[in-house]
Amino acid sequence: MTLLKRLAIVTAAGAALFAVAIPALVNAQEAPRAGIFVGDSNHVATGEARLVERDGRWFVELGADFSLDGAPDPKVSVGGLDAGPGLILAPLERKTGAQTYALPVGFDVSSVERIWIWCERFSVPLGHADLSA
């Protein structure tokens, strides 16, 4: 996302001849992408998930309304719309409530279409949230 700054060309007499708007990066942040969890593999997963940028770093945020019915070895991951995690971030901290998980520095988030809760032990999805802008 870019912000516009004005650049004025000023004459020696101090009058502006013209002013133009030019794009400038001013520590702008991307708009969050969000989705709502649905359960997979006969599990119940609910609540909001967001992919957000803060100070040049990307994070997955699970909302205060997040809930998972439980499973062995649940992990938070990001990936495409296919049936599997692209990148496993970390073990799920808790089955309910707000949580934040950092993506690796330099990770290209342009391919992230879904946030997964994934059971690594049995290699099955527990829930997913499709992201929209």
Check pLDDT > 80 for residue 3.
no
pTM above the 0.95 mark? no
Instruction: List beta partners, residue 39.
Output: 127
Give me the sign of the Cα torsion angle 72, 75, 81, 84: negative
Are 102 and 88 in contact by the 8 Å Cβ rule? The answer is: no
Q: Which residue has the tokens 């330099």?
A: 106
SS3 111: helix
Reported as a single tens digit per residue, the pLDDT across 98-126 is 999 999 999 999 989 999 999 999 999 99
Please give the structure tokens belonging to residue 101: 């998980």
**Is the distance from CB of 59 to CB of 52 less than 8 angstroms?**
yes
